[in-house]
Amino acid sequence: MAEFTLELNDDQKQVRDWLHGFAKDVIRPAASEWDEREETPWPVIQEAAKVGIYSLDFYAQQFFDPTGLGIPMAMEELFWGDAGIALSIVGTGLAAVGVLANGTEEQIGTWIPQMYGDADDVKVAAFCSSEPDAGSDVASMRTRAVYDQAKDEWVLNGTKTWATNGGIANVHVVVAVVDPELGSKGHASFIVPPDTPGLSQGQKFKKHGIRASHTAEVVLEDVRVPGHCLLGGKEKLDQRLARARERAATGGERVKNAAMATFEASRPAVGAMAVGTARAAYEVALDYAKTRTQFGRPIIDNQGVAFQLADMRTRIDAARLLVWRASWMATTGKPFESAEGSMSKLYASETAKKVTAQAVQILGGNGFTREYPVERMHRDAAIYTIFEGTSEIQRLVIARTLSGMPIR
């Protein structure tokens, strides 16, 4: 009988413990300061680069873990430290995934190293998909990319919003419309190289949570990029558009667009981030419940508190298992026939919101103050049900997958 195990191997345990130590010793002590400053924590990113966590090699090793657990394990540990700082460290990864999902081998080798820089000169990257009128509704995207055949250049115009590292990135990956008649199937992704004229940062958002992560608008005004900056190349794009037109004419099966391919690949990782935040809040609440006394005994002796902690731990473990299953399926090439990626992101996100709220409640008045980290964790957790597909969108994807309806 084939062996079945959920036990991490020795190498994975070593990496997990190393990341946990960095999160405990470097990220967590800096969390409150950078949350208050609402600025990119460059010194922490620099430290992560020096020890090898913020690097292409590290993420490649985790990405190619044959079990699929490398990335979710790393995300959970870093976000256990602090969600805002961790997102500043891993935010470049979404742009890298965009290139990995849609780019050629040459593009992957050229652009992903430039997204990270090195320990002496740290860089970040941004993935730009959402727009003021097109968040979950990617079919409403207005940013246009027009091909100038004479110069073999693409000209991009539009405004992106909610872009992590937007405007401060060395490399921007921009999703734009190349054929408006095809809706979301007429999109393509483009690399905007460093210092390209016409790209600028718009509004920087002051956020409820994950304040240490830079989020801003990206404005594109006649931005010209070389033809080789189209991810996948023009020949592949032309073939894909031709198939989409044929299917549209015959009412056939729809094909995936570039933005959705990136989001599908990253959803289990977002679920792992949520698990990390939930676990952190649960551990604070558990320690507090063991040491806080009321009426002469620790409050964990009260069923009202103990049962909450039992539910919190159960939800966290269930969320982690869903994330691990989806990550394993993605790595081993098993299709998400029941939208398992969306399931993992949905359940883990909702778990983070619920568990952090319960942690605040267990700490009572202390939980409502910034003297205790659960207040920040509760604010941070709100983002997980919103970005990279809201909980409502995840439910829509799951429902339509189960029913056989097309996912638009």
Please name the amino acid found at residue 160: K
User: Known catalytic residues?
Assistant: 388
Q: In this structure, what are the phi and psi dihedrals at residue 201, rounded to the nearest 5 degrees?
A: -85, 130
CA distances from 65 to 48, 59, 71, 254, 321 (A): 21, 10, 8, 31, 17
Integer angstrom CA distances of residue 198 from 157, 158, 216: 9, 11, 16
Q: What helix, strand, coil percent values describe the chain, rounded to 5?
A: 60, 15, 25
Chain CA centroid to CA 150, Å: 38
Give strand ranges (E) for 134-288: 144-148, 153-164, 171-177, 187-192, 199-204, 215-226
Helix (H, G, I), strand (E, B) or coil at 54: coil
Torsion angle of the four alpha carbons 332, 335, 337, 341, in this order, in degrees rounded to the nearest 10:
70
> Between the CA of residue 147 and those of 128, 151, 244, what are the distances in Å?
19, 9, 19
Neighbours of 68 (CB within 10 A): 23
- Report the C-alpha gap between 366 and 357 in whole angstroms: 13
132 vs 316: CA distance, rounded Å? 33
What is the radius of gyration, based on Cα positions, of the chain?
Answer: 22
Q: How many residues appear in the chain? A: 408
Query: Minimal CA–CA distance to 229: which of 98, 364, 135, 401?
Result: 98
